[in-house]
């Protein structure tokens, strides 16, 4: 037992005791281990105290850093919002410019420097748009531009409707020439004292004169008629129909789509006719009307009526 050390553990209930023996070398090892453990614990405690003191001293800087992070996040959101609003305004301005171009096409006018200054960034409600960095300013400007765009789109849709109506309304005479017989009752051109209802106008012209459609529409009849000879009937929509009689040659057939001023026939003397001329008539909702009603001039302004 020399150079041996014994540690005895006696339980409080007087049960079997436990003993542990270790040598002098083991004692040194155990002592070194306990010392190392004690130093480690003290070191960790000291480090904890140091870190606590360091954090306490740096807390204002940490708080300031958190505030900076929050401010940067808010600024990033503001910049993102500005970019979205800027993109929306840019897209709306481009849409307005496109509508302006369509308007000039419909109205057949040349763009000028005075046409819609908004699309060129000169509208007073959106001045300094490219240089401002205020979300409040853009939030104010964007609805104005969008409202302008919405209104312009409404005008454009109305312009399309008016253009379609204009294209399908016979506002021109098919040929130039003396109007030898007007709309309404007249003396029978074949002699006698009787009168007859003339459902159109007769326009004197040379044989073979080109006859254009006075408005866009669909050909509903192209053939021979017992009274009007070679005849063309065009339905222009909106309840308007025009017809062209006494032609020498037809250039269209039933079902053809025609545009305003498209050639549809050559004048002649076919059918019940006393000479080369064009009979031009019009109907609205099934009723015969004076075709001069649609022209851009009054009957008093038509020469030789």
Output the pLDDT for position 10: 75
- Where residue 177 falls (left for φ over 0; alpha for ψ -120 to 50; beta otherwise) is left
Output the pLDDT for position 131: 40
Output the pLDDT for position 20: 67
Output the pLDDT for position 121: 45
Are 277 and 232 in contact, with CB atoms under 8 Å apart?
no
Output the pLDDT for position 63: 79
**Integer-rounded Cα radius of gyration of the chain:** 50
What is the mean pLDDT, run by run of 10 residues, along the chain of 305 residues? 67 72 71 84 85 79 82 81 74 74 64 46 43 58 72 68 81 91 78 78 95 96 95 94 96 96 96 91 94 68 44
Output the pLDDT for position 295: 81
Whole-model pTM: value is: 0.52
H or E element that contains 82: helix 24-107
């Amino acid at each position: 037992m020399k150079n041996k050390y014994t540690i005895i553990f006696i339980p409080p209930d007087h049960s079997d005791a436990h003993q542990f023996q270790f040598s002098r070398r083991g004692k040194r090892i155990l002592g070194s281990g306990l010392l190392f453990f004690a130093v480690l614990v003290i070191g960790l405690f000291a480090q904890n105290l140091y870190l606590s003191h360091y954090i306490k001293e740096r807390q204002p800087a940490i708080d300031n850093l958190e505030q900076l992070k929050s401010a940067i996040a808010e600024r990033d959101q503001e910049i993102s919002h500005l970019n979205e609003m800027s993109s929306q305004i840019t897209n709306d301005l481009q849409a307005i410019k496109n509508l302006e171009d369509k308007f000039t096409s419909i109205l057949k006018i040349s763009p000028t420097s005075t046409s819609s200054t908004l699309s060129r960034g000169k509208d007073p409600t959106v001045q300094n748009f490219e240089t401002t960095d205020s979300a409040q300013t853009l939030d104010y400007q964007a609805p104005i531009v969008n409202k302008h765009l919405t209104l312009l789109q409404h005008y454009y849709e109305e312009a399309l409707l008016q253009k379609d109506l204009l294209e399908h309304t016979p506002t021109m005479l098919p040929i130039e020439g003396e109007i030898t017989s007007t709309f309404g009752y007249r003396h029978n051109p074949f002699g006698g004292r009787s009168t007859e209802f003339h459902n159109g106008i007769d326009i004197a012209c040379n044989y073979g004169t080109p006859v254009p459609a006075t408005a866009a529409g669909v050909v509903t009849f192209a053939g021979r008629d017992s009274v009007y000879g070679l005849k063309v009937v065009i339905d222009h929509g909106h309840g308007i129909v025009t017809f062209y009689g006494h032609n020498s040659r037809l250039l269209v057939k039933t079902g053809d789509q025609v545009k305003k001023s498209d050639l549809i026939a050559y004048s002649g003397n076919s059918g019940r006719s006393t000479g080369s001329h064009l009979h031009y008539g019009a109907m609205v909702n099934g009723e015969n009307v004076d075709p001069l009603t649609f022209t851009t001039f009054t009957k008093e302004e038509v020469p030789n009526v």
